[in-house]
Amino acid sequence: MNSLEHLRSYLTHAGLNPKIAEIYHTLQYYGPQTMSELARSSGIERIQIYRMLDELKSSGLVEVETQYKRSILHAAPVTTLQLLLVKREQELKDLQQEYAALEAEHQFHAQSMERATTRVQFYEGLDGIKQMLWNETRAKGENLAILRDNMQNKTNLAFFKRWVRKCNERGLHFRGIIGDDFIRTQQDWYIKHRNERLDHWKSRYVTQSVFPIPYSIVVYDDVIAHYNWNNKRMFGIEIHDAAVAAVQRQFFELLWDNATEADDLAGQVAAPSPRSL
């Protein structure tokens, strides 16, 4: 196996586009290059390299320098490859935590009385919040949310991507009422990130003076989910009750009818708790 094949294999197992291996190997071999030079020496079309620019920079393997209105690409030190391994180990650890939370939830439901009409479940810490968010992916109907800020600033990127993919796979629909804090955090996020968006998301805006939003609430099926991660203590509460959920749904519709149409901001959102959360 030659050096390029070895590098391609390593980066592919690390979850990156195999073409990144060719680009990185070319920069290591030929030194810093412009987009046009890199296209010629790597055999990859310039437009493809341009489209991969965000992924190249986020991988940490390629550094981009601007000189006289043109971009010069540099290969990062080979030791940077170790960071990819550390990142993958963290993602696997997060998956293990999610599985543990799912298994605990399954055991809880198995031991619960199926005929109980009302149940209140308390969750604490980031793992508890992630469990609540994952519960939302099982919704059968529309998810209604009153959102203080977006969720991805609190969960890591790997979890957020899996959450969005699951919501889109299930064709879940979301409506969200948002304020200034949500718009700010959402715009800040998408300035720095380019990742999956929710396929079915609508939002309306209310001002702080009309309706302050101190924390996030999501209603789906017969569940009301309260998310509070604005203070040092992060926790959430799920109330499982059809009548209580119905009242909260009516309240949401009243607020929705009196809210203003909001731009799609950075695409669909996933804020702190709804099926879009």
Burial 8-39 (b: 16+ CB within 10 A, else e): beebeebebeebbbbbbbbbbeeeebebebbb
Residue 171 has pLDDT above 90, yes or no: yes
State the Cα–Cα distance between residues 265 and 190, nearest whole angstrom: 9
The residue that leads in pLDDT, 134 or 13, is 134
The whole-number average pLDDT for the span 6-25 is 75
Question: What is the model's pLDDT at position 236?
Answer: 92
What fold does the segment set 3-76 form as a domain?
A: Arc Repressor Mutant, subunit A (1.10.10)
State the Cα–Cα distance between residues 95 and 100, nearest whole angstrom: 9
State the Cα–Cα distance between residues 221 and 248, nearest whole angstrom: 11
The residue that leads in pLDDT, 112 or 46, is 46
Q: What percent of the chain has pLDDT over 70?
A: 83
Nearest by Cα to 6 from 18, 17, 173: 18
The whole-number average pLDDT for the span 214-228 is 94
Residue 167 has pLDDT above 60, yes or no: yes
The residue that leads in pLDDT, 133 or 191, is 133
Residue 264 has pLDDT above 50, yes or no: no
For the segment 57-93, what is each residue's pLDDT rounded down to a tens digit? Answer: 777 788 888 877 788 888 887 777 666 667 767 777 8
The residue that leads in pLDDT, 22 or 216, is 216
How many C-beta atoms lie closer than 10 Å to residue 245's C-beta? 18
For the segment 91-137, what is each residue's pLDDT rounded down to a tens digit? Answer: 778 778 788 777 777 776 655 554 457 889 999 988 899 999 999 99
Residue 190 has pLDDT above 90, yes or no: no
What fold does the segment set 117-261 form as a domain?
A: Endonuclease; Chain A (3.30.870)
Residue 271 has pLDDT above 50, yes or no: no
Q: What percent of the chain has pLDDT over 90?
A: 30
Question: What is the model's pLDDT at position 85?
Answer: 65
State the Cα–Cα distance between residues 185 and 160, nearest whole angstrom: 15
**Domain boundaries, given as residue ranges, for the chain:** 3-76, 117-261
137 CB-near residues (< 8 Å, 6+ apart): 163, 166, 167, 170, 172, 275
Q: Which long-range contacts (CB under 8 A, 24 or more apart) does 139-142 make?
A: 139/172, 139/220, 139/221, 139/275, 140/221, 141/220, 141/221, 142/173, 142/174, 142/175, 142/220, 142/275
pTM of the model: 0.55
Counts of helices then strands in the chain (DSSP H, E) = 10, 11
Question: What is the model's pLDDT at position 151?
Answer: 81
Confidence of residue 55 (pLDDT cuts 50, 70, 90): confident
Nearest by Cα to 182 from 158, 154, 159, 156: 154
Question: What is the model's pLDDT at position 266?
Answer: 37
Confidence of residue 3 (pLDDT cuts 50, 70, 90): low
